[in-house]
Amino acid sequence: MSHHEGKRTAYDCVEFFVDIERRRAIDSPIPVFTSDNWDPFEEGLLNVYGFLETPSYCGIGRRPDPILVPYPNLKYAKVCKKREKGRIVEVIQQVVYGDIEEVMQLLGADSGGKINTSYIERLNLTIRNSLARFVRKSMNCSKILGRHTHALDFFQAWYNFVKPHKSLRLRIDQGRKKWIQRTPAMAEGMTDHIWSIKELMTFTIPIQ
């Protein structure tokens, strides 16, 4: 859906969530966010999906300053891994924002009882297998940030419009044809066919 290249800071995290919010349709709900134990993630979410609220005044001392509070429909869960001598000894699951039962149900965690980051880790593996510049300790690393960003832009478009995903295919059983292959863009109703590289590279973006 979105990507951001930068440092692991709250500022970069805010820029990332601002881009997600820019892409989100007005009538669509705020996505359910999951992450590992990374504090800037929580801070970035609160800055984009929060509002200022002044706590009630009890009549003693000076009046309290406004504080940032999350929107009621913001849902965020994180997985904290405790390590000892390089080994994971404990995994703590925590729902930071939102109702615990609702978040667990939306994540499908009610069946297995776990919140995990396996989907994003699998996507990280796909990116490393698809883009040589993400392979560690190689000569193919990006030398210029702008080109690195463009490479990710192209991968994002290819991944969503050109590459069929096995998990998204539909069973039809029409003679020898058993399945209809689909891309994420087809599953979301953004297109009705699998794009070619030529179609992707020559597509004219409508003026907004």
User: What pLDDT digit, counting tens, does each position of 99-140 carry?
Assistant: 888 888 887 764 555 677 777 788 888 888 888 888 877 888
The DSSP result for 192-207, as a single string, is SSPPPHHHHHHPPPPP
Residue 41: exposure state from Cβ atoms within 10 A (0-12, 13-18, ≥19): buried
Question: Residue 59's pLDDT is what?
Answer: 79
Spans of all domains in the chain: 10-116, 143-208
| Per-residue pLDDT tens over the stretch 173-187 | 777 788 899 999 999
Burial class of residue 53 in the structure, from the number of CB atoms within 10 Å of its CB (0-12 exposed, 13-18 middle, 19+ buried): exposed
Report pLDDT for 112: 58
Q: Which two tokens stand for residue 31?
A: 């996505």
Model pTM score: 0.77
Q: In this model, does residue 197 exceed pLDDT 80? A: yes
- Cβ atoms within 10 A of the Cβ of 57, count? 10
Q: Are strands 32-36 and 75-84 parallel, antiparallel or unpaired?
A: parallel
The DSSP output letter for 166 is G
pLDDT tens digits for range 148-182: 999 999 999 999 999 999 989 998 877 778 889 99
